[in-house]
Structure 1
């Protein structure tokens, strides 16, 4: 899973200028292919991917998708120049990004990010408890991921969302100092990870402010 890479070297000149990620407003239209809007957390079921078969014979109906789901609060907090996240559903404790050298903790406009992951076993639901804005870093499926595939989505906080299985993502980035989300996902919790600093020698520069109209 992502969130375990060392961000302490994010300002090292060896990485050059970070790769700028575009940002769009999160709407039902812009999220097509990435996931779906969630307005009722309790009534939303996690999308579970059936177990992959190895031959031409199909799964017997009603089997291969009984791993179930797990749920728990997802806590986010800015601590100085670092963004941290705690996923109680899977006992995950992460550092998910660091502010650029020219960005103050009092005016967070961007965050440097080097990781993303996807879950082949199912979707993941994020739902803000205080309806405050947040940013999600996403990319469409494919192991041959490129820096230019990433897109940041600015959510106004009025709804949550569920990412589909295989969607590249990071834990969310709150606009406020801290945030609490309700979360749930497939219990298998399979993760495939990319580290852009290792693979491409670059950090991603992710905006934290709404796109200009």
Structure 2
């Protein structure tokens, strides 16, 4: 995951109005193309993409998928007006979003987001350890990503998700003040990122409330 962007000037008027992201309830049908629901974390197999070949010769059978898996426990939390994540396989906390200027921490309705990334080497599983609700920001594959391609999915906490390889995403956003998630993905963990502020001059405005 990328952790290069700063949210210090997220409220600066030079960025204009943030781009509104639609939100839908996460269901098996709604997630088609993006990923699949996960009800059993331990028995969920991570989708691994075979290592790409550059020439006309094919991979030898059984190779190109042997990098193994990473299992981790992720703590997502709100600290003041900032969304943060701690990954037990990496060092320190990092920021994934910030509340708009006019939204208080006591009523988190939306969050400003500027980054997303995808993993070409395989899927990634997010599973709420205590059945806490959350929101996932996703977009379908394609390097020519546009702001209107993003969709927010509201999960009620009764299941997790495995996003497919090449799906644009951010670390998920908790609804509670703090939530713990189990995660797993391919150990190669290749990452391709986009920064909407750098590329489009705007933040995404992502809802945190379920659709009505």
CA RMSD of the aligned region, Å? 1.0
Superposed CA offset, 1:122-167 (max 9, x none): 1100000111110000000000000000000000000001000100
Per the alignment, residue 160 of structure 2 pairs with: 160
Quote the residue 1:181 is aligned against.
Answer: 181
Q: For residue 38 of structure 1, what is the aligned residue in structure 2?
A: 38
Task: Map Cα deviations across residues 18-37 of structure 1 (whole Å, 9 max, x no partner).
Answer: 00000000000000000011
For the Cα contact (< 8 Å) 1:4–1:95, is it kept in 2? no
Partner-residue secondary structure (3-state), 1:197: helix
TM-score, normalisation: structure 2? 0.98
Aligned to 2:33, the other structure's residue is in SS state coil
Alignment match, 1:172: 172
Q: For 1:2-151, what aligned pairs fall within 5 Å after superposition?
A: 2-91=2-91, 93-151=93-151
Task: State the distance in 2 between where 1:11 and 1:120 align.
Answer: 33
Between the aligned partners of 2:204 and 2:66, the Cα distance in structure 1 is 37
The alpha-carbon deviation at position 91 of structure 1 amounts to 4.4
Question: What does the per-residue CA deviation read over 1:19-62, in whole Å, with 9 as the maximum and x for residues that have no partner?
Answer: 00000000000000000110000001111110001112211110
Q: For structure 1, which runs of at least 5 residues remain unmatched after alignment?
A: none
Q: How many residues align?
A: 212
**How far apart are the structure 2 equivalents of 1:171 and 1:92?**
15
Residue 43 of structure 2 aligns to a residue whose secondary structure is: coil
Unmatched 5+ residue regions in structure 2? none
**How many Å separate the matches in 2 of 1:9 and 1:131?**
34
